[in-house]
Amino acid sequence: MVSDDDVLEEISFDYKSANIDKKDLYMLEYAEKVTDNLSSVSEEDIEKLKSVGFCDEAIFDINQVTSYFNYVNRIADGLGVELE
């Protein structure tokens, strides 16, 4: 059996090859697109999330959390904030 720690390690290394279900994979793909190439996000991405059970509210939450962390990281990076 794969432990949660093992899965987290796999995800942090390469989520696309990690031992995760389609729902988690599609969520992470969407979050990556929002982070790295926002203009490429399309209705197809939303429909893909819905196809694995995400409702509109959950998709909104994924978008908001991803966008918030992108925002905070850009502020910290722009101000030269270093982690302890």
What would the mean pLDDT of 38-45 be, rounded to a whole number?
Answer: 96
What would the mean pLDDT of 8-31 be, rounded to a whole number?
Answer: 92
Q: The tokens 């989520």 sit on which residue?
A: 15
- Confidence (pLDDT) at 1: 56
Name the more confident of 3 and 59.
59
CATH superfamily of 20-79: AhpD-like (1.20.1290.10)
Query: Which segments of 1-84 does DSSP mark as H helices, in order?
Result: 4-14, 22-36, 43-51, 56-79
Q: What is the pTM of this model?
A: 0.86
Task: List the chain domain ranges.
Answer: 20-79
Q: For residue 42, what pLDDT band results from cuts at 50, 70 and 90?
A: very high
Name the more confident of 82 and 56.
56
The half-sphere exposure of 25 on its side-chain side, counting CA atoms within 13 A, is 11
Task: Retrieve residue 26's tokens.
Answer: 């599609």
